[in-house]
Structure 1
Amino acid sequence: MKKALLSVACLGTVAAYAQTKDSLQTREVDEVVLTASRKKENIKEVPSSVTIVGEKQIQSQLTVNSDITSILQYTVPSLATSSGQTSNTGQTLRGRQVLVLIDGIPQSTPLRNGARDLRVIDPSVIERIEVIKGASSIYGNGADGGIINYITRRSQSDKKISGISQIGITGQPYGGTLGFRASQLLSGKITQNFDYVASLAYERTGYMKDADGVNLSPTYSPAKMDNYNGMLKLGYNINDNQRIEASYIGYASKSDLDLGLKTGKYGITPTIGEGRGLNLDTTPQGTPRNHNYKLSYDNKNLFWNTSLNVNLYYQDFRTVYGYSDTFFNGGQSNVISKKKGARINLDTQLWNAQNSQGEIIYGADILNDQTVQKLEDGRYWTPDMDMTNIAPFLLVKVDLLKKLTIKGGLRYENMKVKVGDFNTLSTLKADGTFTKSIFVQGGDLEYNALVGNIGIRYNFEPYINLFGSFSQAYSINELGRILRTSTSDTITNLETKPIIVNNYEFGATGQIAKWLNYEITSYVSTSKLGATFIQSPDRALTIQRAPEVVYGVEGYVHFTPKKWINFGGSYSWMEGVTSLKDDGDYSAKINNSRISAPKILAYLQIRPIQSLSVGLDMLHAFKQDRFDPNAKGLYVYGEGEVPAYTVFNFKSTYEVNTNWRLSLGIENVFNKMYQPAIAWWAARDSDFTNSSGMRGTFMIEYKF
């Protein structure tokens, strides 16, 4: 098996949270390979922590809820819980922002984080999800907390045509909630050297209601939404050493939810959807386009034990938000982002002896990111931002005695951002007055840094393997939000310094008697200048730049005592502190918008007969009480007290025969009334919403 770079500039932690609950068999850890690092790698050589959500697990979770943010909250220990909305605000990874990728193509918009980057693909086309935890610069800007990479399906059949057809309905025990979804996947080999994958998926959701049958808030609601996903991959093997592949993946979501907003009272009465919405000619909320194009070339033997991988990509993304009257004359905003880039990866084997191996991995990344936030009528909320990032890298890897792996690397970040001239928007303050619009002169910003990593892993025995690493991330996250609230007439007077994160990690993992897998990991990440949303005196959100430290622990354990039963779970806890006066006093806490409550995930899966599988998942979020209310008894944004809650999901599949399968899943099977964490920590009346009540999904699948 070829060895590879886990992270060119960053070797975060590797906890192979490849849950076995859907295979009902303990998976050998050394069989799991990682491609989020651009190349395959034996997990026993990785000194870092990665959660791998496999294909069977994704399909099992899809039976319960097709929302990818829900699938992730039930499978990734250190990821914050989902908001249940189209926005993934607050769903941080280890207390920091995450960079989302599809087959290595960046989906996040760190120049103006619109929090719509997790819901950009349909789960039916995902082969697996790789979550690299800890600061990483392997794919450039935005990975302060790690990377989530959606790896799409490949052709794995020698037939000319094979496929998977799925059709399903969703609904709640209330009127108007019926939804529908269908998907078709085709793959195969047209000739011995030419293969393909093609997929179409469509979903129409119904109304979303809480445990009492009341419509949930229409703000960022996934209700009454049309979701579309298309994928086409064409691959050609030139010879045994060379391959070229072209792909297109497109996603769109549009809502026609016509509900009025009835604002509740924080902590008392939820905000709900009632009656009809405003009689305005508005653009449907959602993500009307997310186009991803990729062309890749691989050569396994370019010269002298050297392999080459080249990726060229282009992404065109637009997301639309709801109508807001906080702007002068009101309006809807868009985040529009276009990225194009190239990644060049060379891997030279220095030596390959019986008990030791050495290699050097080197190359360069080139990325151009053009991002802007505008209102539908053309007014600029942020200026045009045009970033070019050129980053050469180098990594050395040594394996000794088939037990010890040492990795170390450097990456040079060179970012240049051209900022256009613009006028800030006049917006409504909490006291009813408007801020004045001012002209801001743009200009050029430049950021340079050398970031590095080093990691060590020692595999003593199958039952105990130790790893430790240091890694760094470098990003200019949320530059657009800083610029759009400018009070200066020139960008040179604004605090736009980048975020440099240092991540330290130590962990242990192992397998005991082939029926128990475990891992425990501890981490600390520091930054001299972090970025956190806080609430200003006029209740507007601003960004606080201050030194900070985030630390935590996480772990999992999986049992498979018999082939017909397996069970296990995970636990994650974190804390974050900051020095507001930059005096070394870290007594202030980073607010709950980034630091999520401790979380337990647990599961039980049984197979009473060969053709039937039945399972139960549990998510328990602990109480989070880290701040005190002010003199008026009110919490500010990010500091609200979050109550504990526990939710159970039921899922089952029945194999009719080798071709047909029936699935039934029930989300919130006990119809528990609760609120998502964001409803509490946001501490705003409009954000205080209930979560969805019991919701079922029935699916029929045909494989051929």
Structure 2
Amino acid sequence: MKKALLSAACLGTITVFGQKNDSLNAQRVEEVVMTASRKKENIKEVPSSITIVGEKQIQSQLTVNSDITSILQYTVPSLGTNSGQTSNTGQTLRGRQVLVLIDGIPQSTPLRNGARDLRVIDPSAIERVEVIKGASSIYGNGADGGIINYITKGNKTNKNISGISQIGFTGQRSGGTLGVRASQLLSGKINKFDYTLSLAYERTGYMKDANKVYLSPTYSTAKMDNYNGMLKLGYDINENQRVEASYIGYSSRSDLNLGLNTGVYGVRPTIGEGQGKSLETTPQGTPRNHNIRLSYDNKNLFTGTALNVNLYYQDFKTVYGYSDTFFNGGQSNVLSKKAGARFNLDTQLWNTQNSQAEIIYGTDILNDETVQKLEDGRFWTPNMNMTNIAPFLLAKIDLFKKLTIKGGLRYENIKVNVDDFNTLSVIKNNGTFTPSIPVAGGKLNYNALVGNIGLRYNIEPYINLFGSFSQAYSINELGRILRTSTSETIKNLETKPIIVNNYELGATGQVSSWMNYELTSYVSTSKLGATFVQSADRALTIKRAPEIIYGVEGFLHFTPVKWLQFGGSYSWMEGITSPDDNGNYSAKINNSRISAPKVLAYLQVKPIPEVFVGVDMLHSFQQNRFEPGANKQYTYGEGFVPDYTVFNLKLGSEINKNWKLSIGIENFFNKLYQPSIAWWSARDSEFVNATGTRGTLILEYKF
């Protein structure tokens, strides 16, 4: 039986939703593997819900849209719908912020969450995506709602060289929308060395809605150059020892030359117009995201003990559009550098025919230096330098090949050094400016013991029960709290961490040779959450208050015959909060975090082995959780969200064993609608239309 690679501190059962363009059937679901750099595990030993987006599923979705935020919204049930822009604001996981990783390297910037952490890699370099749903502390700061880990491609062959070449074109039924993308993957093995080289480039055209009108230039993905390069080198020292080094670089910059025509919320969308107009001095996007990793594995350090060491470095910069909300205006950015090390030991305690036990222990070290500045050099947040040292210990017992018990502890020890700074003078709603004030920095210390425990009982193939409790510990949005300071010292600010308790119960199983399912319910609580709310002058501030989020999700997958697959998923959540610590949860968490219920459905038909036809459907339900104010206007995050349904079509033909042609059509029926964020944000400038019908053609050569 194949094994599943699973994060040692994560407790999860693996779900593969909608394996498009694949021969996977219900009998083979248990063979899916997952990598989270900690520990190999059998899928039947995992006691909570995890979604795996496989390589063929990624490729199938890439045929329709290469934006990874779009790929994830169609494949992860409890993830919020995307905005169609460079920002992933509102795309929360189970109502909380998610920690994004590439091969275990943190990409998110929780010290100043800029909502640009999902679009940090080209999908052509991804082998699969692991989505750990629910609070997790295994990778440290920022995983309140879970973890999204992009696992990059590696060598799978003994050939000296093999590869995949792709060239594609995108466009809409209107002039100027033509785009092009190309990617090249090379991999091979020479004696004890193996390598993987991945290169990708994409140039997008203008983006237009169903009425052929330019979409808003704010955070637009139009007229953008996207570059991605990856080099991975490995060496097998012997049968027990291996070293691997990798570099991944990503850059995304827009030279869109449209002016902004601001609309009216709920009446007329904000659009782009007048080519040649732009106030920006720096192309918006993510000009750099460099990731370097060095790993060492020893399967037999000493009797019964394996060692894994990972060293990494990340250098990230993202740039936003021009804003006149502060004195003299300008463009802001988020700069973040991370350096870290993970030391992981795995010791087998016993291993008999009917039972086994092991402990996993080690230490994670992370240094995260993050700041938000304007492009002209002015500081919007101070420099924040965080050091996190976290030892952990986990235990796992398997009994009678049916019962798995897992539990662990992790001690978070976090220190943040904050520089002195001056707040920016920001314009108020009435046209006046807040005065700039000097704020004295200092040192902030945080520490806590967090844990997890889970149990899974495999009764019969058609019914496996699991339950788990897990915690997350994060210092989230410290930068936004500091940049709006009205105090002259950080010691007077509310900067306490977010500790999330996540409870989960579920069932999964294979009812027959052609049907499998999963149903999960969850509750997550925090004594002090963090939510964007709108102040009296319409500025966004952070509300810290007790929270409870609860929800359900489930999926069904059918393969009645080899040439037919279909299925779907449903997710629903609700979130409530208390205005104070009195325990009376009388308010709702706003829609910026609590996504509308979502249904995903898919159908794939292979009338002959060389041809496939696929249809994806996304339905986002109506969300009417708040009443407008006395002025009949909604406040930020509370806007009424109407429902919408979108269909995508995919066609593919394997010309021969080397050549393949794929065609994808996004928004097949050219539906005119607005993404959810356009409604719940309740702002004129953010009331935008979604992209109209857009086609993609990809020609692939494999050797």
TM-score, normalised relative to structure 1? 0.99
Q: Aligned equivalents of 1:448 and 1:365: distance in 2?
A: 14
Aligned amino acid, residue 318 of structure 2: T
Report what 1:71 is aligned to. Answer: 71
Report what 1:508 is aligned to. Answer: 507
CA-to-aligned-CA distance 1:28-51 (integer Å, 9 cap, x gap)? 232122212623221110001110
Report what 2:404 is aligned to. Answer: 405
Report what 1:193 is aligned to. Answer: 192
Report what 1:266 is aligned to. Answer: 265
Report what 1:414 is aligned to. Answer: 413
Q: Aligned equivalents of 2:543 and 2:296: distance in 1?
A: 43
In structure 2, relative to structure 1, the CA distance for the partners of 1:88 and 1:474 (3 Å cut) is same
In structure 2, relative to structure 1, the CA distance for the partners of 1:359 and 1:90 (3 Å cut) is same
What secondary structure, in the 3-state scheme, does the structure 2 residue paired with 1:297 have? strand
What secondary structure, in the 3-state scheme, does the structure 2 residue paired with 1:57 have? helix
CA-to-aligned-CA distance 1:149-171 (integer Å, 9 cap, x gap)? 00000100111110000000000
In structure 2, relative to structure 1, the CA distance for the partners of 1:619 and 1:281 (3 Å cut) is closer
Contact 2:3 2:31 in 1 (8 A): no
Report what 1:480 is aligned to. Answer: 479
> How far off its partner does 1:634 sit?
0.3
Report what 2:219 is aligned to. Answer: 220
Q: Within 5 Å, give how 1:262-411 maps onto structure 2.
A: 262-276=261-275, 278=277, 280=279, 282-411=281-410
Contact 2:280 2:331 in 1 (8 A): no
What secondary structure, in the 3-state scheme, does the structure 1 residue paired with 2:323 have? coil
Report what 1:659 is aligned to. Answer: 658
In structure 2, relative to structure 1, the CA distance for the partners of 1:519 and 1:2 (3 Å cut) is closer
What secondary structure, in the 3-state scheme, does the structure 2 residue paired with 1:65 have? coil
> How far off its partner does 1:278 sit?
4.7
Aligned amino acid, residue 132 of structure 1: I
> How far off its partner does 1:591 sit?
0.0
Is 2:130 the counterpart of 1:111? no
Contact 1:228 1:252 in 2 (8 A): yes
Report what 2:94 is aligned to. Answer: 94
Q: Aligned equivalents of 2:37 and 2:460: distance in 1?
A: 25
Aligned amino acid, residue 43 of structure 1: I
Is 2:225 the counterpart of 1:236? no
Contact 2:552 2:572 in 1 (8 A): yes
Aligned amino acid, residue 567 of structure 2: G
What secondary structure, in the 3-state scheme, does the structure 1 residue paired with 2:330 have? coil
In structure 2, relative to structure 1, the CA distance for the partners of 1:6 and 1:55 (3 Å cut) is closer
Report what 1:245 is aligned to. Answer: 244
Aligned amino acid, residue 569 of structure 1: G
Q: Aligned equivalents of 1:307 and 1:18: distance in 2?
A: 32
Q: Aligned equivalents of 1:617 and 1:647: distance in 2?
A: 8
Contact 1:15 1:521 in 2 (8 A): no
Report what 2:163 is aligned to. Answer: 163
TM-score, normalised relative to structure 2? 0.99
> How far off its partner does 1:382 sit?
0.3
What secondary structure, in the 3-state scheme, does the structure 2 residue paired with 1:321 have? strand
In structure 2, relative to structure 1, the CA distance for the partners of 1:504 and 1:14 (3 Å cut) is same
Contact 2:167 2:182 in 1 (8 A): yes
Report what 2:142 is aligned to. Answer: 142
> How far off its partner does 1:581 sit?
2.1
Q: Aligned equivalents of 1:248 and 1:465: distance in 2?
A: 40
Is 2:441 the counterpart of 1:438? no
CA-to-aligned-CA distance 1:411-430 (integer Å, 9 cap, x gap)? 00000000000000001111
Q: Aligned equivalents of 1:357 and 1:103: distance in 2?
A: 28
Unaligned runs of 5+ in 2: none
Aligned amino acid, residue 60 of structure 2: S
What secondary structure, in the 3-state scheme, does the structure 1 residue paired with 2:669 have? coil
Is 2:675 the counterpart of 1:676? yes
Report what 2:598 is aligned to. Answer: 599
What secondary structure, in the 3-state scheme, does the structure 1 residue paired with 2:568 have? strand
> How far off its partner does 1:23 sit?
1.1
Q: Aligned equivalents of 2:343 and 2:395: distance in 1?
A: 16
How many aligned positions are there? 702
Report what 1:48 is aligned to. Answer: 48
Unaligned runs of 5+ in 1: none
> How far off its partner does 1:512 sit?
1.7
Contact 2:18 2:602 in 1 (8 A): no
CA-to-aligned-CA distance 1:356-382 (integer Å, 9 cap, x gap)? 010000000000000000001110000
CA-to-aligned-CA distance 1:262-301 (integer Å, 9 cap, x gap)? 0000000000000046554600000000000000000000
CA-to-aligned-CA distance 1:466-513 (integer Å, 9 cap, x gap)? 000000000001000000000000000000000000000000000122
> How far off its partner does 1:5 sit?
8.6
Aligned amino acid, residue 62 of structure 1: L
Q: Aligned equivalents of 1:408 and 1:221: distance in 2?
A: 44
